Amino acid sequence: MAGALAGVASSALVPADAFAGDAFSWKDFIGSSDLIWKKMPSTWFEGPFLGNGYLGSGIYAEPGANAVRFNVQHSQVQDHRPEFGALFGLARLPIGYFTLEPVGAITAVDWRLDLWNAELTGTITTAAGSLRLRAFVHTRRDVYAIDVQASEGERTFRWVFHPLKAISPRTDPKWGRPPPPGFTDNPPVQLTNADDVQLAVQPLNAGGEHVTAWREVTRGTRRTLFTSVAWSHPAKTAARKAITHVRCGSIDALAVDHRLWWHDFYRRSFLSIPDKRLESFYWIQLYKFASAARKEAPAIATCGPWLENTPWPNTWWNLNVQLEYWLIHGSNHVDFDAVTYSADRYRDVLVEQVPAQYRHDSAGVPRTTDTVLNNGAGIGNSGYGVGVPGQETPTPEVGNLTWTLHNVWLTYRHTMDDRVLRGVLFPLLRRAINYYFHFLFKGSDGKWHLPITFSPEYGVNAPDCTYDLALLRWGCRTLLEAAKSLRVNDPLIPKWRDALANLTPYPVDANGYMIGAGVPFAKSHRHYSHLLQIYPLYEVTWEDPAHRQVIETSLNHWISFEGALQGYTFTGAASISAQMLRGDQADHYLGELMRRYIKPNTMYQESGPVIETPLSAVQSMYDMLCQSWGGVIRVFPAAPWPDIALDDFRTQGAFLLSASRQNGVTRWIRVRSEAGAPCVVRTDIKDPVVRDRVGRPRRFSVLPNGDLRIDLRRGEEAIIHRSGDKPDLLVGPVGGSPVLPWGLPG
């Protein structure tokens, strides 16, 4: 696990509460990033949040009342009326919330979101006394436990459940789109009980139900509320499941394995930098991600499990999902990969999302889907289905499955697991690229061209759309590499080679990459869909001097248009800058993100609440600290900080990287191979030596450009440091100035 190398750390250096092999206190280190509230949060963007990938709760003041709202939402709860499309008939549905209603007027709060234990703790002070609070959503069970210890004057405080109308949030008039004709409300909620368990049963017009169950247990001055949500469709079996969830042990017993799971989660990797505000932000994002995601849970929707009033009550596949899951690779949490899991499990649904005449060999994912990747009435109705290149409507946004499969490819490359390559990536990418091939045509220039398609969010269709050309090139190249690795003699290999050799070049003008042929980039645009060939596909790279001018021109032109820019504009600009080896510029863009867009609790807002942008900022940090595309592990390629500690960072090739930067120079690097893939390392260490864990020399060669090629078999590791140096190889927090915590610290 993350920490000192085996056999190096002296036991005298290890704090009493550290784990074996760790030279520092994990509890204290993670605790330094805790969010603090000295003021009552008033919105989703200010308050604490808890979750386990399914059940989620945001906590803040109940508007217009002397009460605190504890939301109860669930990522599986959705409508099931595909005839009305994803945004209405398949939308995620609001469930409800509890209010904690004290006896006296609330006068103060003092709360801490304890990241290490994934618990909210603290007090609510009122005119009548105080309420000591402890709350968590259990990480393995769908149960939300809220424990309150009341002073004498507050012993009669109340819990009240408020069910919300089970209707798509998109129906709110503020979002400006009326529901389709014939769309009706679901039946009202039914309040009932089963012995000591209270139930809110929500039947659905399409069959099935979701049920909120709760029970309260009193022990002296402590009252513990246990609540849960269960969903079933088309059967009506949710009530039984919800009742079982809340008939659990004491909150203290529940907390034991909950805490152990979270402690293990954090210790899978380690990162520390001198910018303590950004360092805290980083660890909060890991907490947020693990609260929002599980491999077998639905791919993260725009709000995660914390559904609020939103125009986007579902899952978006033209940027959001991709950005949400990038961090799983570097942080060594590939076991959270719901993208690969969902693509595999629902591959038949992906086939159904393209028009019927192409389903024999093609597949796609629409812009937005429900939990099982279905758009419902998308094609020809909602306008969000997989359109047909060359047709104006519905919007021919056809590249989203290929981009989604880039995430699957990243999982393969970071694990080198052939089961992912053979079982998921290759067959689905083959279908995604086949869909393009149905529409490619030869021009008078002898090149392959695309009819009009849609570059996500720019608002104008374009022939030879740069977004699609980039994905088509990447897809063909990846299929050829996969076929070679899998030793598959696929009959389409000549077609993939021909496409790579003869596909029309990217449209370029004086301002850099265009949206498509004849369509310049000429207005403010938050999305970097026209720049995917630079990032994240790395089809066009800064390492080729011939590309540098167009990369720099394109980046500067894109970022120069204020007006429609949003938070993920700046995470994309930071990652492109990191490829350009400009760490200070990347840091500047992350600073702009923090100053302009990140809310007090690190959440994010556009028209409604969305969470992909803060999560994608983690990947931007990773791109500054380590890049491993193209078969080369680049250590600290664009690091603006003089001191950095990195441990068990997962790279392409299935390597685990640990490294220390001190006073602006890389002191040492450790690389451990999990798959025996070729190992090439790029570092600023001068006159390097390479040894194994016990100090014996390890074979390596220096390539003409200075990179180190190291002979590593599966399970072996190499340590790189300057000749004559004797680094201690310890990993721990680096110094930095204290900063105000996230939250509302006062």
Residue 23 confidence class, pLDDT cut points 50, 70, 90: confident
The CA-atom distances, in angstroms, between 298 and each of 107, 143, 250, 332, 607 are 40, 18, 29, 20, 23
Average pLDDT over residues 701-722: 97
Architecture, CATH, for domain 33-266: Distorted Sandwich (2.70)
> Using one digit for the tens of pLDDT, what is the confidence trace for 185-236?
999 999 999 999 999 999 999 999 999 999 999 998 899 999 999 999 999 9
At 439, give phi and psi (nearest 5°).
Answer: -120, -10
Q: CB-based contacts of 489: which residues, under 8 Å, 6+ apart?
A: 483
User: Exposed, middle or buried by CB within 10 Å (0-12, 13-18, 19+), for 176?
Assistant: exposed
Distance, in Å, from the CA atom of 746 to the CA atom of 743, rounded to the nearest integer, reads 9
* 517-521 long-range contacts, CB within 8 A, separation 24+: 517/449, 517/462, 517/463, 517/464, 518/462, 518/463, 519/460, 519/462, 521/458, 521/554, 521/557, 521/558
Q: What is the DSSP string of 458-503?
A: T--EETT-HHHHHHHHHHHHHHHHHHHHHT---TTHHHHHHHHHHB
DSSP 169-189: GGGSGGG--PPPTT--PPPPP
On the question of pLDDT at 104 being above 80, the answer is yes
Residue pLDDT, tens place only, 616-653: 999 999 999 999 999 999 999 999 999 999 999 999 99
Q: Is the pLDDT of residue 21 over 70?
A: no
pLDDT at 380 over 60: no
Asked whether the beta carbons of 386 and 354 are under 8 A apart, the reply is yes
* pLDDT attached to residue 392: 87
Q: Mean pLDDT over all residues of the chain?
A: 94
Choice between 249 and 529, residue whose per-residue pLDDT is larger: 529
- What is the pLDDT, as a whole number, of residue 177? 86
Q: Are 599 and 42 in contact (CB under 8 A)?
A: no
pLDDT-wise least confident of 133-137, 147-151, 357-361, 561-565: 561-565
Residue 378 has what pLDDT?
53
Q: Where are the alpha helices (DSSP H) in 612-732?
A: 612-625
Q: How confident is the model at residue 12 (pLDDT cuts 50, 70, 90)?
A: very low
**Length of the chain, please?**
746
- Separation between Cα atoms, residue 665 and residue 3, nearest integer Å: 20
What are φ and ψ of residue 268, in 5° steps? -70, -20
pLDDT at 394: 80
Q: Is the pTM of this model over 0.85?
A: yes
Q: Which of 13-22, 36-45, 665-674 has the lowest mean pLDDT?
A: 13-22
**What is the per-residue pLDDT across 417-450, written as a single tens digit (0 to 9) for each?**
999 999 999 999 999 999 999 999 999 999 999 9
33-266 and 298-565, same CATH topology: no
Q: In the prediction, which pLDDT does 439 show?
A: 98
Query: In which element (H, E) is residue 230 found?
Result: strand 222-232
Q: What does the pLDDT read at residue 369?
A: 96
- The tens digit of pLDDT for each residue in 143-155 reads 999 999 999 999 9
Closest CA to 511 of 522, 500, 501: 522
Residue 736: is its pLDDT beyond 70? yes
- Residue type present at position 606: E
The pLDDT score that the predictor gives to residue 475 is 98
* Structural domain boundaries in the chain: 33-266, 298-565
What single-letter DSSP state applies at residue 22? Answer: -
Decide if pLDDT at 301 tops 90. yes
Q: Domain 298-565 carries which CATH code?
A: 1.50.10.10
Contact 80, 206 (CB under 8 A): yes
DSSP per-residue letters across 334-370: GGG-HHHHHHHHTHHHHHHTS-GGGTTT-----SEE-
Tokens 């900022």 belong to residue = 617
- pLDDT value at position 71? 98
Q: Which two tokens stand for residue 94?
A: 């609001």
Predicted local distance difference test score (pLDDT) of residue 20: 44
Positions of E strands within 358-401: 368-369
Region of poorest pLDDT, from 248-262, 385-399, 490-504: 385-399
Q: Confidence band (pLDDT; 50, 70, 90) for 15? A: very low
Q: Whole-angstrom Cα distance, residue 648 to residue 656? A: 5
Q: Is the pLDDT of residue 1 over 80?
A: no
What are the residues facing 57 on neighbouring strands?
50
Share of the chain above pLDDT 70, in %: 96
User: 17 falls in which pLDDT band (50, 70, 90)?
Assistant: low
What are the tokens at 496? Answer: 């993939």
